Amino acid sequence: MGKRPPKYSAGALIKHGLTRGDWPRMWRRPEMRSSYDVVIIGGGLHGLATAYYLAENHGITNVAVVDKGYIGGGGSGRNTAIVRSNYLTPEGVAFYDRSLDLYNTMATDLNLNIMFSKRGHLTLAHTDSALRTMHWRAEVNKLQGIDSSVIDAQEVKKQAPSLDVSQNTRYPILGALHHPPGGIVRHDAVVWGYARGADVHDVHILQETEVLDIMVEGGSGPGGKGAGGKVTGVKTSRGDISAPIVVNCTAGWASLISNMAGVPLPITTHPLQAAVTEPCKVFLPTVVVSGSLHVYVSQTDRGELVFGASVDPVGTYRVNGTLEFTEELAGHVLELMPGISKMRLLRQWSGLCDMTPDYSPVMGNTPVEGYLVDVGWGTYGFKAGPVAGETLAETIATGRNADLISAFGIERFTEGDLVGEKGAAAVGH
Amino acid sequence: MSNRLTAQPGEIIDRSTSLSFTWNGKAVTGHQGDTIASAIAASGVDVFGRSMKYHRKRGILTADHWDPNLFVQVGDEPNVRAGSRRLEAGMVVSTQNVWPSLEFDLGAANQLVGRFLSSGFYYKTFMRPKFLWPLYQKVLKKFAPGGRIHWETSTHDAYDKRYVHPDVLVAGGGPAGMGAALAAADNGASVLLVEQYGDLGGHLLWGDDAQRAQGADLAAACRAHANIEVLVDSTVTGRYDHNWISVMQRSHDIAPERLIKARAGVMVVAPGLVERPYVFAGNDTPGVILSGAARRLINLWAVKPGNRAVVMSANADGDAAVADLERVGVEVVAVLDARKGESIVSVEGKSRVSKVALSDGRTLNADLVVTATGWTAPTSLLNMAGDRPVYDATAARYFSNSLPSNILATGGITGDGSTAELEAHGRATGVLAANRALRRRHDRVAQTARSNDPAWDKPAEMADSRTPLNRVPHPECYRSTTHGMVDFSEDVSSKDLIQASKEGFDSIELMKRYTTVTMGPSQGKLETVNAAAVLAEANQVSMAEIGTTVWRPPFAPITLGALAGRIHEPVRRSALQDWHDAHGAAPLLAGQWVRPDHYGDPMGEADNVRNNVGLIDVTPLGKLDLRGPDVSKLLELVYVNKWSKLDIGRVRYGTMVAEDGVVSDDGVTGRLGEYHWLMTCTSSGAGAVWEMLEDWLQTYRPEWQVHVTAVTGGLTSINVAGPHSRTLLERIVEDVDLSADAFPYFSVRQGTVAGVSDCIIWRIGFTGELSYEVHVPSGHALHVWEELLAQGEDLGCRPFGVEAQRILRLEKGHYIVGQDTDGLSKAPTAGLGGLVKLDKPDTIGLPELKAAYERTDLPILVGVQTDDPEIVPEEAAQIVDGGSNTILGRITSSRMSPTLGRSVCLAQVDPSLAAAGSSITVLLADGRRVTATVQEHHAHVDPEGARQRV
Amino acid sequence: MIVVPCPNCGPRNSGDLRNCGELVPRPDPSTASLVEWREYLYMRKNPADWVTETWYCRGGCRRYFTIERNTATNEIRGQEAS
Ligand SMILES: Cc1cc2nc3c(=O)[nH]c(=O)nc-3n(C[C@H](O)[C@H](O)[C@H](O)COP(=O)(O)OP(=O)(O)OC[C@H]3O[C@@H](n4cnc5c(N)ncnc54)[C@H](O)[C@@H]3O)c2cc1C
Ligand SMILES: [Zn+2]
Residues B665-700 have pLDDT tens digits of 999 999 999 999 999 999 999 999 999 999 999 999
**Gap from B219 CA to chain A (nearest CA, Å):** 30
In Å, how far are A287, B255, C35 from A128, measured between CA atoms? Answer: 22, 36, 38
Domain's final residue, options B540, B559, B578: B559
Q: What is the CATH number of the domain that holds B230?
A: 3.50.50.60
Q: Is A348 in Cβ contact with B554 (below 8 Å)? A: yes
**Percent of chain B topping pLDDT 90:** 83
Name the average pLDDT for chain C.
94
Domain count, chain A: 2
Taking the centre of ligand 2 as the mean of its atom positions, its distance from the CA of residue C55, in whole angstroms, is 10
Residues A286 and A247 in one domain: no
**Percent of chain A topping pLDDT 70:** 97
The answer to whether position B28 is within a domain reads: no
Q: Is C38 in Cβ contact with A317 (below 8 Å)? A: no
**Chains in touch with A (≥3 Cβ pairs < 8 A):** B, C
Which ligand gives the minimal distance to the CA of A64?
1
Which ligand gives the minimal distance to the CA of A387?
1
Tell me whether residue B459 is exposed, middle or buried, using C-beta atoms within 10 angstroms of its C-beta: 0 to 12, 13 to 18, 19 or more.
middle
Q: Which residue has the higher pLDDT, B254 or B534?
A: B534
What is the best residue among A97, A250, A362 to mutate for testing ligand 1's pocket, by most ligand atoms within 8 Å of CB? A250
What is the complex's ipTM, to 2 decimals? 0.97
Q: Is B406 in Cβ contact with C2 (below 8 Å)? A: no
Domain count, chain B: 4
Q: Is the pLDDT of residue C80 over 90?
A: no
Interface residue A264 vs chain C (CB under 8 A): yes
Name the average pLDDT for chain B.
93
Q: What is the mean pLDDT of residues B773-792?
A: 98
Domain's final residue, options A355, A377, A398: A355
pLDDT at residue B452 in the model:
64
Taking the centre of ligand 1 as the mean of its atom positions, its distance from the CA of residue A88, in whole angstroms, is 23
Domain's final residue, options A324, A355, A386: A355
B208-222 tens-digit pLDDT: 999 999 999 999 999
**Percent of chain C topping pLDDT 90:** 88
Q: Is the pLDDT of residue B520 over 90?
A: no
The answer to whether position A13 is within a domain reads: no
B588 strand-pairing partners: B595
Residues found in chain C = 82
Give the dihedral sign, CA B267/B271/B273/B276: negative
pLDDT at residue B141 in the model:
76
**Side chain identity, residue A216:** V
Q: Is C29 in Cβ contact with B847 (below 8 Å)? A: yes
Taking the centre of ligand 2 as the mean of its atom positions, its distance from the CA of residue C63, in whole angstroms, is 6
Residues A240 and A313 in one domain: no
B525-584 tens-digit pLDDT: 899 999 999 999 999 999 988 887 788 899 999 999 999 998 888 999 999 999 999 999
Q: Shortest CB distance from C42 goes to which of A255, A317, A413?
A: A413
> Please, which residues 378-417 of chain B have a Cβ atom closer than 8 Å to chain C?
386, 404-406
**Gap from B192 CA to chain C (nearest CA, Å):** 20
In Å, how far are A283, A300, B650 from B142, measured between CA atoms? Answer: 11, 12, 71
Q: Which helix (H) or strand (E) holds A323?
A: helix A323-336
Taking the centre of ligand 2 as the mean of its atom positions, its distance from the CA of residue B705, in whole angstroms, is 20
Q: Is C64 in Cβ contact with B694 (below 8 Å)? A: yes
**Percent of chain B topping pLDDT 70:** 98
The answer to whether position A341 is within a domain reads: yes
Taking the centre of ligand 2 as the mean of its atom positions, its distance from the CA of residue B447, in whole angstroms, is 12
Do the strands B663-673 and B676-681 form a parallel or antiparallel pair, or are they unpaired?
Answer: antiparallel
Question: Are residues B649 and B761 in contact, defined by beta-carbon separation less than 8 angstroms?
Answer: no
The answer to whether position A296 is within a domain reads: yes
Q: Near ion ligand 2, which residues have CB within 5 Å?
A: C 6, 8-9, 57, 60-61
Domain's final residue, options B809, B844, B871: B809
B708 strand-pairing partners: B626
Cα B677 from Cα B762, distance rounded (Å): 12
Q: What is the DSSP-derived secondary structure letter of residue B45?
A: -
pLDDT at residue B115 in the model:
64
Q: Closest residue (by CA) to atom 34 of ligand 1?
A: A42
**Gap from B323 CA to chain A (nearest CA, Å):** 37
Q: Is B89 helix (H, G, I), strand (E, B) or coil?
A: coil
Closest residue of chain C to A326, computed from CA coordinates: C1
Nearest to B380 by CA among B191, B587, B156, B555: B555
Q: Shortest CB distance from A10 goes to which of B125, B151, B874?
A: B125
Q: Is B339 helix (H, G, I), strand (E, B) or coil?
A: helix
Cα A183 from Cα A309, distance rounded (Å): 17
Q: What is the CATH number of the domain that holds A56?
A: 3.50.50.60
Residues B388 and B503 in one domain: no
Helix B419-447 / helix B175-186 crossing angle, nearest 10 deg: 40
Helix B802-811 / helix B602-611 crossing angle, nearest 10 deg: 60
Residues B612 and B686 in one domain: yes
Question: Are residues B565 and A327 in contact, defined by beta-carbon separation less than 8 angstroms?
Answer: yes
Residues A234 and A246 in one domain: yes
Nearby residues of B905 by Cβ (< 8 Å), 6 or more positions away: B810, B863, B864, B865, B866, B873, B891, B892, B893, B894, B932
Q: Is the pLDDT of residue B889 over 70?
A: yes
Q: What is the DSSP string of B209-224?
A: HHHHHHHHHHHHHHHH
Q: Closest residue (by CA) to atom 3 of ligand 1?
A: A79
Residues A171 and A309 in one domain: yes
Q: Is A267 in Cβ contact with C1 (below 8 Å)? A: no
The answer to whether position B465 is within a domain reads: no
Residues B721 and B796 in one domain: yes
Interface residue A322 vs chain C (CB under 8 A): yes
Q: What is the CATH number of the domain that holds B776?
A: 3.30.1360.120
Nearby residues of A60 by Cβ (< 8 Å), 6 or more positions away: A37, A38, A54, A393, A396, A397
Q: Is the pLDDT of residue B806 over 70?
A: yes
Residues of C in contact with A355 (CB under 8 A): none
pLDDT at residue A417 in the model:
84
Q: What is the CATH number of the domain that holds A323?
A: 3.30.9.10
CA atoms within a 13 Å half-sphere pointing along the CA-CB vector of B47: 21
Least confident of A40-54, A78-92, A314-328, A362-376: A78-92
Question: Are residues B574 and B593 in contact, defined by beta-carbon separation less than 8 angstroms?
Answer: yes
A190-248 tens-digit pLDDT: 999 999 999 999 999 999 999 999 999 999 999 999 999 999 999 999 999 999 999 99
Q: Is the pLDDT of residue A322 over 80?
A: yes
Q: Closest residue (by CA) to atom 15 of ligand 1?
A: A379
Residues B881 and B798 in one domain: no
Least confident of A9-23, A76-90, B171-185, B756-770: A9-23
The answer to whether position A68 is within a domain reads: yes
Q: Is A321 in Cβ contact with B145 (below 8 Å)? A: no
**Gap from A324 CA to chain C (nearest CA, Å):** 7
pLDDT at residue A424 in the model:
56
B894 strand-pairing partners: B905
Q: What is the mean pLDDT of residues B778-804?
A: 97
CATH class of the domain whose range is C3-81: alpha beta
The answer to whether position B452 is within a domain reads: no
Residues A155 and A178 in one domain: yes
**Gap from A85 CA to chain B (nearest CA, Å):** 18
B828-865 burial: b if 16+ Cβ within 10 Å, else e: bbbbbeebbeeebeebbbbbbbbbbbeeeebbbbbbbb
Q: What is the CATH number of the domain that holds B486?
A: 1.10.10
Cα A396 from Cα A393, distance rounded (Å): 5
Cα B426 from Cα B411, distance rounded (Å): 7
Closest residue of chain C to A257, computed from CA coordinates: C47
> Please, which residues 413-442 of chain B have a Cβ atom closer than 8 Å to chain C?
440
**Gap from A86 CA to chain C (nearest CA, Å):** 26
Q: Closest residue (by CA) to atom 36 of ligand 1?
A: A42
Residues A202 and A242 in one domain: yes
Do the strands B168-171 and B160-164 form a parallel or antiparallel pair, or are they unpaired?
Answer: unpaired
Domain's final residue, options A355, A381, A399: A355
The answer to whether position B207 is within a domain reads: yes
Q: Closest residue (by CA) to atom 50 of ligand 1?
A: A79
**Gap from B520 CA to chain A (nearest CA, Å):** 8
Q: Is A317 in Cβ contact with C48 (below 8 Å)? A: yes
Interface size B-C, in CB pairs within 8 Å, comes to 70
Most confident of A127-131, A289-293, B620-624: B620-624
Q: Shortest CB distance from B560 goes to which of A10, A320, A340?
A: A340
Question: Are residues C51 and C71 in contact, defined by beta-carbon separation less than 8 angstroms?
Answer: yes
Nearby residues of B904 by Cβ (< 8 Å), 6 or more positions away: B810, B811, B863, B864, B865, B894, B895, B896, B897, B940
Q: Is B240 in Cβ contact with C10 (below 8 Å)? A: no
The answer to whether position A315 is within a domain reads: yes
Q: Shortest CB distance from B261 goes to which of A112, A323, A339?
A: A323
Give the dihedral sign, CA A244/A249/A254/A257: negative
Give the dihedral sign, CA A122/A177/A380/A335: negative
Residues of B in contact with C13 (CB under 8 A): 263
B584-614 tens-digit pLDDT: 999 999 889 999 999 999 999 999 999 999 9
For B244, the domain range is 160-273+379-447
pLDDT at residue A23 in the model:
84
Residues B789 and B652 in one domain: yes
Cα B402 from Cα B725, distance rounded (Å): 75
Q: Is B659 in Cβ contact with C11 (below 8 Å)? A: no
A305 — pLDDT class (breaks 50, 70, 90): very high
The answer to whether position A8 is within a domain reads: no
Q: Is C34 in Cβ contact with B242 (below 8 Å)? A: no
Residues B620 and B723 in one domain: yes
The answer to whether position A388 is within a domain reads: yes
Output the pTM of the full model: 0.95
**Chains in touch with C (≥3 Cβ pairs < 8 A):** A, B
Q: What is the DSSP string of B354-382?
A: -EEEETTS-EEE-SEEEEE--EE---HHH
Residues found in chain B = 950
Q: Shortest CB distance from A266 goes to which of C43, C48, C74?
A: C43
The answer to whether position B827 is within a domain reads: no
A421 — pLDDT class (breaks 50, 70, 90): confident
Residues B738 and B882 in one domain: no
pLDDT at residue A428 in the model:
55
Cα B441 from Cα B936, distance rounded (Å): 69
Q: What is the mean pLDDT of residues C17-43?
A: 95
Residues B396 and B260 in one domain: yes
Q: Closest residue (by CA) to atom 35 of ligand 1?
A: A42
Q: Shortest CB distance from B553 goes to which of A16, A192, A348?
A: A348
Q: Is B144 in Cβ contact with A339 (below 8 Å)? A: no
Interface size A-B, in CB pairs within 8 Å, comes to 279
Residues of B in contact with A271 (CB under 8 A): none
Cα B317 from Cα C15, distance rounded (Å): 47
B384-436 tens-digit pLDDT: 999 999 999 999 999 998 999 999 999 999 999 999 999 999 999 999 999 99
Residues of A in contact with C14 (CB under 8 A): 314
Q: Is the pLDDT of residue B121 over 90?
A: no
What is the best residue among A32, A39, A53, A68 to mutate for testing ligand 1's pocket, by most ligand atoms within 8 Å of CB? A68
The answer to whether position A103 is within a domain reads: yes
pLDDT at residue B450 in the model:
63
Cα B699 from Cα C44, distance rounded (Å): 19
For A209, the domain range is 31-112+187-266+358-425
In Å, how far are A408, B412, B428, B469 from B420, measured between CA atoms? Answer: 67, 13, 12, 11
